[in-house]
Amino acid sequence: MTRTRGETRARILRTAAELFQRQGYGATGLNQVLAESGAPKGSLYFHFPQGKEQLAAEAVALAGGEMGERMALAVGSAAGPEDAVRRLGELLAQGLRDSDFQDGCPVATVALEEAGGSGPIHDACRQTYDAWLSGLAERLRGWGATEDDARDLADLALSSLQGALLLARVRKDTSVIASVARRVGAVVEHGVRNGRNG
Protein backbone atom coordinates (compact mmCIF):
# COMPACT_ATOMS: atom_id res chain seq x y z
CA MET A 1 0.00 0.00 0.00
CA THR A 2 2.82 2.40 0.89
CA ARG A 3 4.51 1.68 -2.40
CA THR A 4 1.30 2.42 -4.31
CA ARG A 5 0.86 5.71 -2.44
CA GLY A 6 4.46 6.67 -3.21
CA GLU A 7 3.99 5.77 -6.86
CA THR A 8 0.78 7.80 -7.07
CA ARG A 9 2.48 10.82 -5.52
CA ALA A 10 5.45 10.51 -7.90
CA ARG A 11 3.11 10.18 -10.90
CA ILE A 12 1.16 13.30 -9.91
CA LEU A 13 4.39 15.22 -9.38
CA ARG A 14 5.92 14.12 -12.69
CA THR A 15 2.74 14.98 -14.63
CA ALA A 16 2.51 18.36 -12.91
CA ALA A 17 6.15 19.14 -13.70
CA GLU A 18 5.55 18.43 -17.40
CA LEU A 19 2.36 20.49 -17.53
CA PHE A 20 3.79 23.46 -15.63
CA GLN A 21 6.82 23.43 -17.93
CA ARG A 22 4.66 23.42 -21.03
CA GLN A 23 1.70 25.57 -19.97
CA GLY A 24 2.75 27.55 -16.91
CA TYR A 25 1.16 27.77 -13.48
CA GLY A 26 -1.99 29.69 -14.32
CA ALA A 27 -2.99 27.56 -17.30
CA THR A 28 -2.53 24.24 -15.50
CA GLY A 29 -5.56 23.05 -13.54
CA LEU A 30 -5.57 20.39 -10.86
CA ASN A 31 -8.24 18.41 -12.71
CA GLN A 32 -5.93 18.22 -15.73
CA VAL A 33 -3.05 17.02 -13.54
CA LEU A 34 -5.28 14.30 -12.07
CA ALA A 35 -6.68 13.27 -15.44
CA GLU A 36 -3.30 13.04 -17.15
CA SER A 37 -1.60 11.30 -14.24
CA GLY A 38 -4.43 8.78 -13.89
CA ALA A 39 -4.47 9.41 -10.14
CA PRO A 40 -7.64 8.98 -8.05
CA LYS A 41 -9.53 12.22 -7.45
CA GLY A 42 -8.99 12.50 -3.70
CA SER A 43 -5.29 11.68 -3.91
CA LEU A 44 -4.04 15.14 -4.81
CA TYR A 45 -4.89 16.82 -1.52
CA PHE A 46 -3.86 13.70 0.36
CA HIS A 47 -0.35 13.93 -1.11
CA PHE A 48 -0.25 17.73 -1.43
CA PRO A 49 -2.33 19.13 1.44
CA GLN A 50 -1.44 22.75 0.57
CA GLY A 51 -2.86 22.21 -2.91
CA LYS A 52 -1.67 23.62 -6.18
CA GLU A 53 0.99 25.91 -4.68
CA GLN A 54 2.73 23.03 -2.91
CA LEU A 55 2.44 20.85 -6.01
CA ALA A 56 3.95 23.55 -8.22
CA ALA A 57 6.84 24.28 -5.83
CA GLU A 58 7.72 20.58 -5.59
CA ALA A 59 7.31 20.08 -9.36
CA VAL A 60 9.67 22.99 -10.08
CA ALA A 61 12.21 21.61 -7.61
CA LEU A 62 11.98 18.15 -9.18
CA ALA A 63 12.29 19.30 -12.80
CA GLY A 64 14.94 21.87 -11.91
CA GLY A 65 17.00 19.30 -10.01
CA GLU A 66 16.89 16.87 -12.92
CA MET A 67 17.91 19.59 -15.36
CA GLY A 68 20.69 20.61 -12.97
CA GLU A 69 22.05 17.06 -13.07
CA ARG A 70 22.05 17.05 -16.88
CA MET A 71 23.73 20.46 -16.93
CA ALA A 72 26.41 19.26 -14.49
CA LEU A 73 27.13 16.27 -16.74
CA ALA A 74 27.38 18.49 -19.83
CA VAL A 75 29.67 21.02 -18.14
CA GLY A 76 31.66 18.34 -16.34
CA SER A 77 32.71 16.71 -19.59
CA ALA A 78 33.61 20.00 -21.31
CA ALA A 79 37.17 20.77 -22.36
CA GLY A 80 36.96 24.40 -21.21
CA PRO A 81 34.62 27.35 -20.65
CA GLU A 82 33.72 27.86 -24.31
CA ASP A 83 32.97 24.18 -24.78
CA ALA A 84 30.90 24.18 -21.57
CA VAL A 85 28.60 26.93 -22.85
CA ARG A 86 28.23 25.16 -26.20
CA ARG A 87 27.35 21.90 -24.47
CA LEU A 88 24.74 23.65 -22.33
CA GLY A 89 23.28 25.18 -25.49
CA GLU A 90 23.10 21.78 -27.15
CA LEU A 91 21.44 20.28 -24.08
CA LEU A 92 18.72 22.95 -24.19
CA ALA A 93 18.33 22.66 -27.97
CA GLN A 94 18.01 18.87 -27.79
CA GLY A 95 15.26 19.11 -25.19
CA LEU A 96 13.38 21.54 -27.40
CA ARG A 97 13.74 19.34 -30.48
CA ASP A 98 12.76 16.19 -28.57
CA SER A 99 9.51 17.83 -27.43
CA ASP A 100 8.73 19.21 -30.90
CA PHE A 101 9.20 22.74 -29.47
CA GLN A 102 6.56 22.23 -26.79
CA ASP A 103 8.84 22.22 -23.73
CA GLY A 104 11.22 25.05 -22.96
CA CYS A 105 13.11 25.49 -19.73
CA PRO A 106 11.60 23.36 -16.94
CA VAL A 107 11.48 26.40 -14.65
CA ALA A 108 11.17 29.53 -16.81
CA THR A 109 7.46 29.34 -17.67
CA VAL A 110 6.48 29.24 -14.00
CA ALA A 111 9.27 31.62 -12.96
CA LEU A 112 7.99 34.33 -15.32
CA GLU A 113 4.55 34.14 -13.73
CA GLU A 114 5.91 34.12 -10.18
CA ALA A 115 8.89 36.50 -10.52
CA GLY A 116 7.24 39.43 -8.77
CA GLY A 117 5.68 37.35 -6.05
CA SER A 118 6.83 35.55 -2.97
CA GLY A 119 6.14 32.20 -1.41
CA PRO A 120 7.06 28.58 -2.05
CA ILE A 121 6.86 28.65 -5.86
CA HIS A 122 9.01 31.76 -6.13
CA ASP A 123 11.47 30.24 -3.65
CA ALA A 124 11.66 26.98 -5.63
CA CYS A 125 12.36 28.89 -8.86
CA ARG A 126 15.03 31.02 -7.23
CA GLN A 127 16.72 28.06 -5.54
CA THR A 128 16.77 26.17 -8.82
CA TYR A 129 18.39 29.01 -10.74
CA ASP A 130 20.84 29.59 -7.88
CA ALA A 131 21.85 25.92 -7.97
CA TRP A 132 22.37 25.98 -11.74
CA LEU A 133 24.43 29.17 -11.56
CA SER A 134 26.44 27.93 -8.62
CA GLY A 135 27.32 24.70 -10.44
CA LEU A 136 28.47 26.56 -13.54
CA ALA A 137 30.40 29.16 -11.54
CA GLU A 138 32.18 26.41 -9.61
CA ARG A 139 33.29 24.80 -12.86
CA LEU A 140 34.50 28.17 -14.19
CA ARG A 141 36.52 28.67 -11.01
CA GLY A 142 38.04 25.25 -11.65
CA TRP A 143 39.27 26.60 -14.98
CA GLY A 144 40.86 29.57 -13.23
CA ALA A 145 38.16 32.26 -13.06
CA THR A 146 38.12 34.49 -10.00
CA GLU A 147 35.13 34.25 -7.64
CA ASP A 148 33.54 37.44 -9.00
CA ASP A 149 34.26 36.65 -12.64
CA ALA A 150 32.89 33.11 -12.28
CA ARG A 151 29.62 34.41 -10.88
CA ASP A 152 29.27 37.15 -13.51
CA LEU A 153 30.18 34.85 -16.39
CA ALA A 154 27.75 32.18 -15.18
CA ASP A 155 25.01 34.84 -15.07
CA LEU A 156 25.90 35.93 -18.60
CA ALA A 157 25.93 32.40 -19.99
CA LEU A 158 22.72 31.20 -18.39
CA SER A 159 20.68 34.34 -19.06
CA SER A 160 21.84 34.39 -22.70
CA LEU A 161 20.99 30.73 -23.21
CA GLN A 162 17.59 31.16 -21.55
CA GLY A 163 16.79 34.03 -23.92
CA ALA A 164 17.97 31.98 -26.89
CA LEU A 165 15.82 29.06 -25.75
CA LEU A 166 12.74 31.27 -25.72
CA LEU A 167 13.50 32.63 -29.20
CA ALA A 168 14.13 29.13 -30.50
CA ARG A 169 10.82 27.91 -29.10
CA VAL A 170 8.92 30.79 -30.71
CA ARG A 171 10.74 30.38 -34.04
CA LYS A 172 10.68 26.56 -33.91
CA ASP A 173 14.34 26.64 -34.87
CA THR A 174 17.24 25.83 -32.53
CA SER A 175 19.92 27.51 -34.66
CA VAL A 176 19.68 30.64 -32.49
CA ILE A 177 20.74 28.59 -29.45
CA ALA A 178 23.84 27.32 -31.26
CA SER A 179 24.69 30.83 -32.44
CA VAL A 180 24.27 32.43 -29.00
CA ALA A 181 26.14 29.57 -27.30
CA ARG A 182 29.06 29.96 -29.72
CA ARG A 183 29.35 33.72 -29.26
CA VAL A 184 28.73 33.79 -25.52
CA GLY A 185 31.03 30.81 -25.06
CA ALA A 186 33.84 32.80 -26.67
CA VAL A 187 33.15 35.73 -24.32
CA VAL A 188 33.14 33.42 -21.28
CA GLU A 189 36.40 31.78 -22.39
CA HIS A 190 37.99 35.21 -22.84
CA GLY A 191 36.69 36.35 -19.44
CA VAL A 192 38.16 33.31 -17.67
CA ARG A 193 41.49 33.68 -19.46
CA ASN A 194 41.76 37.40 -18.71
CA GLY A 195 40.85 36.90 -15.06
CA ARG A 196 43.44 34.15 -14.79
CA ASN A 197 46.16 36.27 -16.39
CA GLY A 198 45.12 39.55 -14.79
Residue pLDDT, tens place only, 124-160: 999 999 999 999 999 999 999 999 999 999 999 999 9
Residue pLDDT, tens place only, 34-78: 999 999 888 888 999 999 999 999 999 999 999 999 999 999 999
Backbone angles phi, psi at 195, to 5 degrees: -65, -35
In a domain, 167, yes or no: yes
CB < 8 Å & 24+ apart, contacts of 34-40: 37/11, 37/12, 38/11, 39/8, 39/11, 39/12, 40/8
Q: Residue 182 belongs to what domain range?
A: 52-197
In a domain, 140, yes or no: yes
How many domains are contained in the chain?
1
Question: Cα–Cα distance between 66 and 88 in angstroms, integer?
Answer: 14
Specify the CATH number for the domain of residue 87. Answer: 1.10.357.10
Provide the whole-model pTM. Answer: 0.89
Residues 60 and 125: beta-carbon distance below 8 Å: yes
